[in-house]
Amino acid sequence: MKKILVANRGEIALRIMRSAREMGLATVAVYSDADRLAPFVRFADEAVHIGGPASSDSYLRGDRVIEACRATGADAIHPGYGFLSENANFARQVAEAGIIFIGPTPEAMEVMGSKLAAKNAVKSYGIPLVPGTDSAIENLAEAIEVAKEIGFPLLIKASAGGGGKGMRIVEEASELESQMKRAISEAESAFGDGAVFVERYVSGPRHIEIQVLADQHGNVVHLFERECSIQRRHQKVVEEAPSSVLTPEMRDAMGKSACDVARACNYVGAGTVEFLLDDRMNYYFLEMNTRLQVEHPVTEMITGVDLVREQIKVAEGLPLSFTQEDLKIHGHAIEVRVYAEDPQNGFLPDIGNLKTYKRPEGPGIRVDDGFEEGMDIPIYYDPMIAKLVTHAGDRDQAIARMTRAINDFHISGVKTTLAFGKFAINHEAFKSGNFDTHFVKNFFSPEVLDVFVDEEARIAALAANLFYEKAKSANTASENQHNPEWRSRRN
> What is the Rg, in whole angstroms, of the alpha carbon atoms belonging to the chain?
24
Q: Decide whether 51 or 153 has the Cβ nearer to ligand MV4.
A: 153
Pick the piece of the chain touching ligand MV4 (CB under 6 A) from 48-56, 198-206, 212-220, 238-246. 198-206
Q: Which of 54, 44, 105 has its CA nearest to residue 83? A: 54
Min separation Cβ 320 and ligand MV4, Å: 27
Query: Distance (Å, rounded) from C-alpha 432 to C-alpha 344?
Result: 25
CA 318 to chain centroid:
27
Dihedral, 222, 10, 353, 61 alpha carbons, nearest 10: -130
Strands 235-241 and 26-32: unpaired
Query: Can you spell out the DSSP letters for 300-369?
Result: HHHH---HHHHHHHHHTTPPPSS-GGG----SEEEEEEEESEEGGGTTEE--SB-SEEE---STTEEEEE
Active site residue 337: no
Largest Cα separation within the chain, whole Å, is 89
Return the DSSP state at 203: -
Contacting ligand MV4 within 22-81 (CB under 6 A): none
Pick the piece of the chain touching ligand MV4 (CB under 6 A) from 12-20, 197-205, 248-256, 361-369. 197-205
Query: Distance (Å, rounded) from C-alpha 398 to C-alpha 405?
Result: 10
Strand, coil or helix: 10 = helix
Q: Decide whether 278 or 342 has the Cβ nearer to ligand MV4.
A: 278
Question: x/- contact string, 229-258, with ligand MV4 (CB under 6 A)?
Answer: --x--x------------------------
Is 290 in contact with 112 (CB distance < 8 Å)? yes
Contacting ligand MV4 within 270-289 (CB under 6 A): 274, 276, 286-287
Residue of 6, 38, 48, 130 that binds ligand MV4 (CB under 6 A) = 130
**φ, ψ (nearest 5 deg) of residue 246:** -80, 130
In the set 291, 337, 395, 401, the catalytic residue is 291
Pick the piece of the chain touching ligand MV4 (CB under 6 A) from 158-166, 188-196, 308-316, 359-367. 158-166
Pick the piece of the chain touching ligand MV4 (CB under 6 A) from 18-26, 140-148, 157-165, 336-344. 157-165
The answer to whether 164 contacts ligand MV4 (rule: CB under 6 A) is yes
Q: Which residues contact 433 (CB under 8 A, 6 or more apart)?
A: 244, 245, 395
Q: How many residues in the shown chain lie near ligand MV4 by CB under 6 A? A: 18
Nearest residue to ligand MV4, scored by beta-carbon proximity: 207
Min separation Cβ 131 and ligand MV4, Å: 9
Pick the piece of the chain touching ligand MV4 (CB under 6 A) from 48-56, 155-163, 291-299, 339-347. 155-163
The answer to whether 113 contacts ligand MV4 (rule: CB under 6 A) is no
Question: x/- contact string, 349-378, with ligand MV4 (CB under 6 A)?
Answer: ------------------------------
Question: x/- contact string, 422-441, with ligand MV4 (CB under 6 A)?
Answer: ---------------x----
Which residue type, as a one-letter code, is found at position 206? R
Residues designated catalytic: 291
Instruction: Tell me which residues touch ligand MV4 (CB under 6 A).
Output: 130, 155, 162-164, 199-202, 205, 207, 231, 234, 274, 276, 286-287, 437
